[in-house]
C-alpha cells in the first residue's frame, strides 16, 4: 500500500471504504450487516470486499489515528 495515496486504483471512493472500515471497527456489526447498510444507501459492495478492506486498511488507520497523520 502506498502510504501517501492508500486508495489509489480502488473501484470505490475512499469515503466509502473508510466508512465501512470505521463501522466495522467501531460497532459490533458483521460484514454482511455493513453490506446491507451500504445497499440501503445505494452502494453495492460485497461483504468479502469489506472484509478485505478491514484487513488491508485497519492497521494503517490505527497507525494514523495514534500519530495524528491525515489521509490525503
pLDDT tens for 32-56 read: 999 999 999 999 999 999 999 999 9
Domain boundaries of the chain, sorted by first residue: 14-66
Q: What percent of the chain has pLDDT over 70?
A: 78
The predicted pLDDT at position 64 comes to 77
Spatial CA neighbour of 45 closest among 9, 20, 18, 14: 20
- Summary mean pLDDT of the chain: 85
Question: What pTM, to 2 d.p., does this model score?
Answer: 0.77
In the DSSP assignment, the letter for residue 71 is P
Amino acid at each position: 500500500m502506498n502510504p501517501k495515496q492508500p486508495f489509489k486504483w480502488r473501484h470505490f471512493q475512499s469515503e466509502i471504504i473508510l466508512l465501512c472500515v470505521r463501522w466495522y471497527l467501531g460497532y459490533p456489526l458483521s460484514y454482511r450487516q455493513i453490506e446491507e447498510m451500504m445497499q440501503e444507501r445505494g452502494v453495492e459492495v460485497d461483504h468479502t470486499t469489506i472484509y478485505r478492506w478491514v484487513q488491508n486498511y485497519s492497521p494503517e488507520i490505527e497507525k494514523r489515528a495514534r500519530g495524528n497523520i491525515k489521509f490525503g
